Amino acid sequence: MAGPDWNPFRRILALPNESRLKTVFVAFLVSVVCAALVSGATVVLRPIQAANRAAEEQARIAALVNGIPGMAQLLEQSGGALSTVVIDLEKGRAAQDVTPANLEAALSDPDNWTQLEPGQDIAGLGQRPDFVQIYLLRDTDKVSLALLPLSGQGYGGRIDAILALRGDMNTFAGLAVTQHSETPGLGGRIEEASWQAGFPGTELRDDSGELRFRVARGPSSGVHEVDGITGATRTGRGVTQMVRFWLGPDGYGPLIAAISRGEF
């Protein structure tokens, strides 16, 4: 005669199907298996998702550059490629030990972020990375185009964009919004090519060097403005503050100064 089965799993599974203990055990077992499968899928898919995001950003960069008048010829003259460099924002020059390959790992370290004081944080970021990957086009030994990633707070959430700045470091060559959460049909129009077409030729600063760029509340009235979007004043203000922050002293200001002096 067989002795009692001391295996607790087999004893639970041998219980009648209407047993509350068996029901709870099976539900727990299924949830553990599902959680393991979801976690495994997340780990496996993360590199694929990162690669897809990178490919989408590259496509937007290509579209932005190709939409700039005369840029195709500049790219052809330079070999058709933008150089990529990671910038130390505080120093305004290329980072010493951070490269595009290890940038993500570097930014996982909280020490590589700068907390922004309320008076500084006009873009609503809270904190700013110390290192940013940018894209440059050179004409002989001078920078003729700089593509600078931007981010800030809009009406519905975070706005990400890439600003193309001409070699004088004062004139927009273009702007591409890469991500936003603004209201469709209102602030969401910032992703439309017709609105972004107002940026080329817009100037950031006046003759005294003061940063004057802004999104107007209506039609633009000068070289430092782009047209506002009807019913989306807060989105326009968010774009204004985003550009002013990143082109100011706590963003790309030191880099822009270095390029203007011919030191980059």
Q: Name the residue among 150, 91, 92 with its Cα closest to residue 124.
A: 150
16: Cβ contacts below 8 Å, ≥ 6 apart: 22
pTM: 0.73
3-state SS assignment for residue 36: helix
If you count them, how many residues does the chain have?
264
Domain range summary for the chain, segments of one domain joined by +? 1-66, 69-260
CA atoms of 258 and 116, how far apart (whole Å)? 23
Q: What is the pLDDT of residues 213-236, one digit of tens each?
A: 999 998 998 999 999 998 899 999
Is 255:264 a contact under the CB 8 Å cutoff? Answer: yes
Per-residue pLDDT, 98: 92
What are the structure tokens assigned to 107, written together? 């930014």
Q: Look up residue 182 and give its two tokens.
A: 């603004």
pLDDT tens sequence across 26-76: 777 788 788 777 777 666 655 566 566 656 666 666 666 666 555 565 566
C-alpha distance across the termini of the chain, in Å:
88
Per residue in 93-137, pLDDT (tens digit) is 999 999 988 998 999 999 999 999 989 999 999 999 999 999 888
Question: What pLDDT does 159 receive?
Answer: 93
The per-residue pLDDT for 153 is: 94
